[in-house]
Amino acid sequence: MSATAMLRVALVGNPNCGKTALFNQLTGSRQKVANYAGATVERKEGRVLAPSGRVLQLLDLPGAYSFDATSPDEAITRDVCYGRYPGEAAPDLIVCVADATNLRLHLRFVLEVQRLGRPMVLALNMMDAAARRGIRIDIGELERRLGVPVIETVAVHRGGTARLVEALDRQALPAPPAALPQGADLHAAVRTLLAATVTMPTRTGRIDDALDRVALHPVWGLTILAVMMFMIFQAVFSWAAPLQDGIELGVATLGEWSTTQLPDGVLKSLLVDGVFAGVGSVLVFLPQILFLFLFILILEESGYLPRAAFLLDRMMFKAGLTGRAFIPLLSSFACAIPGIMATRSIQDPRDRLTTILVAPLMTCSARLPVYTLLIAAFIPERSVAGVFNLQGIVLFTLYFAGVASALIVATVIKRFRGDKSEHALLMELPSYRLPHVRDIAIGLKERAVIFLKRVGGIILTLVVLLWVLASFPAPPPDATLPAIDYSLAGKIGHFMQPLFAPIGFNWQICIALIPGLAAREVAVSALGTVYAMSGSDDTVATQLGPLIAQQWPLATALSLLAWYVFAPQCLSTLAVIRRETNSWKMVAIATGYLFALAYAASFVTFQIASALS
Amino acid sequence: MRLSELPQNVAATVAAVEDAGPADPIARRLRDLGFVDGEPVRIVAHGPVQHDPLLVQIGYTRFALRRAEAARIRVVREAA
């Protein structure tokens, strides 16, 4: 069957209706994530294999409360549903998803979708939760009154979507429903529908009430949040270590094993010091990224993230942000690129811009390679107060410095911007849910692929490029200095060094900063290449730490740590800012202020540390 | 009275949402979310700092609203 003949099905529904879990259950791993043409909103498409052998094309539209859109996400959902989004064909069939435990809110949107007059099916999702809460729904009556097929689903169970697939598999599309007239009171219609078809013993789940009493408590809630954040970072730092050791060993062994047949020379050096060293020192940080995203995804799926936003809103609002910025900023701890992309869920352009500008200050996982290297080399491993690890405390301090500076910068932006009008929070706190393994796994896979694509492309290219810079031109036959001193990289490093001398950077660091602009973690492999080629010819990862511990003063290491808290050492972040703000001016502002902060912080750190030592 | 003045855990009914200015998008969204005449409403929790934001139970749903947003909603306190 050709792609054009495939039935196009669109999933729509309120946020928190379980639409994405349903999408995952229906499509499994047959998913494709991209962007809508000309927009910055994520487009998720998948294929459904029906029992008849038919293949359906399923589009997961962004969640929307109303077609009266207040965010770019909602505008896209509206335009695709109306069939007026350029480059998107109108769906043949709309599956409107509603949470059976939250029908009063969700049915109103169902009525808006009904107004489209397109073939549609209503999927009543989370029927298991509704049954547990004693909610009874007269499906037949609801079908009759809405004029659309109504199908019960349980997105998180295998088989919970079988009847939906069956309905989609029918050859004939359901007849378009007769809609309520324009201007009709949808709320009144919802009330009539509910009265006729639904009996509900309690308004809220008892578990939600009990959990919220603790999770939103002024003291206990904040304590839980703080402990959770602290534990996550301690765990990410120590749990990932054995996996990282394994990857390091594996890549190094593979590099040596695969090049044993090669004679010593340019090609072998390129493979071992360029390609394998580059791949290894980036792959090694995949465990930390996956652990961090595991926590973020669990918090998101369980419904805790909006609670955290609720607790933090007032504080963030004071700084000119919004509680909603919490989620993108938390994601920026893994990487500012998905973080900045996640600001799309902030409906307000002004709040969104502030969040984008401060997101690079969140300590992304690409800084971890640099932090890990320097902390392991310069901070002694000892325990503080018997429980905490000093290295862990230094790491926490670096994270904290990022967060604190983000709040300060956001306050400054708030003070100096022209538009001082009011902007809403208006955030739903969904029911707590047990995170589902498959949804977490699909989410993790998505992140890993995004990270590895960056690694495979930009980073590997740059490590090889650096190898070229560091290898050519070759030293003269009567050379007395290390080979790198004669190379292009050496020349650039020496040229930059006077500018960075006041903040304690040597020329090796200066060289590493150049490819480090492509991505922060590249600086580590760059340092490795620089040192491996000027000193030992062994591979780098494990030897770099002790080497720099010998050669660098402590003040330089601390200064470099401070530099990495602020510096926009990541062209991808700047590119994503450009794409998300559609403004080079914003890119220039972000780059300028971040480099200025970095230089100032490193200067202060280096001068104080030098004076004290 | 306004929803922002309603004490915690006191039952009330929505009377209307008032626009804070011409074509107030926040008021429009509040109405879309179900803040309409006759809906029972209740404050369930407060944020930790300056009792802001408010956690509002409306229908089966909970929304976090800042005080300024809640002040747009006129409510009638139910007789105890």
Q: How far apart are CA A60 and CA A420, in angstroms?
A: 36
- Which residues are B46's β-sheet partners? B54
Confidence of residue A417 (pLDDT cuts 50, 70, 90): confident
A325 in reach of chain B (CB within 8 A): no
Q: Which of B48, B55, B69 has the CB atom closest to A429's CB atom? A: B55
Taking Cα atoms as reference points, which of B50, B59, B54 lies closest to residue B8? B54
Phi-psi region of A439 (alpha: psi -120 to 50; beta: other; left: phi over 0): alpha
Q: What is the pLDDT of residues A144-159, one digit of tens each?
A: 999 999 999 998 787 7
Given a contact cutoff of 8 angstroms between Cβ atoms, the answer to whether A45 and A57 are in contact is: yes
Q: What is the pLDDT of residues A477-521, one digit of tens each?
A: 776 666 666 788 778 888 889 999 999 998 888 878 877 776 687
Q: What is the pLDDT of residues A88-117, one digit of tens each?
A: 999 999 999 999 999 999 999 999 999 999
Domains and CATH numbers, chain A: 3-203 (3.40.50.300), 223-416 (no CATH), 457-612 (no CATH)
Given a contact cutoff of 8 angstroms between Cβ atoms, the answer to whether A343 and A325 are in contact is: yes
**Residue in B closest to A309 by C-alpha:** B64
Taking Cα atoms as reference points, which of A15, A2, A1, A40 lies closest to residue A576? A40
* Three-class SS state of A94: strand
Given a contact cutoff of 8 angstroms between Cβ atoms, the answer to whether A341 and A573 are in contact is: no
Q: What is the pLDDT of residue A336?
A: 80
| Residue predicted with more confidence, A66 or A286 | A66
**Residue in A closest to B69 by C-alpha:** A424
Q: What is the pLDDT of residues A442-460, one digit of tens each?
A: 888 887 776 676 555 666 6
A212 in reach of chain B (CB within 8 A): yes
Look at strands A55-60 and A7-13 and give their pairing. Answer: parallel
Average pLDDT over residues A575-594: 86
A419 in reach of chain B (CB within 8 A): no
Sheet holding B12-17, edge to edge: A427-428, B61-65, B52-58, B40-49, B12-17, B73-77
Q: What is the pLDDT of residue A579?
A: 73
Q: Which of A133, A137, A426 to mutate to test the interface with B (most CBs of B within 10 A)?
A: A426
Sheet holding A42-49, edge to edge: A31-35, A42-49, A55-60, A7-13, A93-99, A120-125, A150-152
Torsional sign, CA A10, A13, A16, A21: negative
Q: Which of B25, B48, B60 has the CB atom closest to A70's CB atom? A: B25
Taking Cα atoms as reference points, which of B75, B1, B17 lies closest to residue B41? B75
A63 in reach of chain B (CB within 8 A): no
pTM of model > 0.80: no
Q: What is the pLDDT of residues A511-570, one digit of tens each?
A: 788 777 766 877 877 787 677 644 433 455 567 888 888 889 999 999 999 999 999 887
Q: Which of B28, B34, B48 has the CB atom closest to A68's CB atom? A: B28
* Residues in chain B, overall count: 80
Q: What is the distance between the terminal CA atoms of chain A, rounded to a whole angstrom?
A: 74
Q: Which of A70, A219, A315 has the CB atom closest to B49's CB atom? A: A315
Per-residue pLDDT at A595 exceeds 90: yes
Q: What is the ipTM of this complex?
A: 0.95
Q: What is the pLDDT of residues A362-381, one digit of tens each?
A: 988 778 778 888 888 888 87
Confidence of residue A326 (pLDDT cuts 50, 70, 90): confident
Q: How far apart are CA A278 and CA A418, in angstroms?
A: 46
A96-115 residues touching B, CB cutoff 8 A: 101-105, 108
B80 in reach of chain A (CB within 8 A): no
Q: Which of A187, A207, A324, A351 to mutate to test the interface with B (most CBs of B within 10 A)?
A: A187
Average pLDDT of chain A is 84
B9-28 residues touching A, CB cutoff 8 A: 20, 25-26, 28
Q: Which fold has domain B3-40+49-61+68-77?
A: SH3 type barrels. (2.30.30)
- Residue B59 burial (10 A CB sphere; 0-12, 13-18, 19+): buried
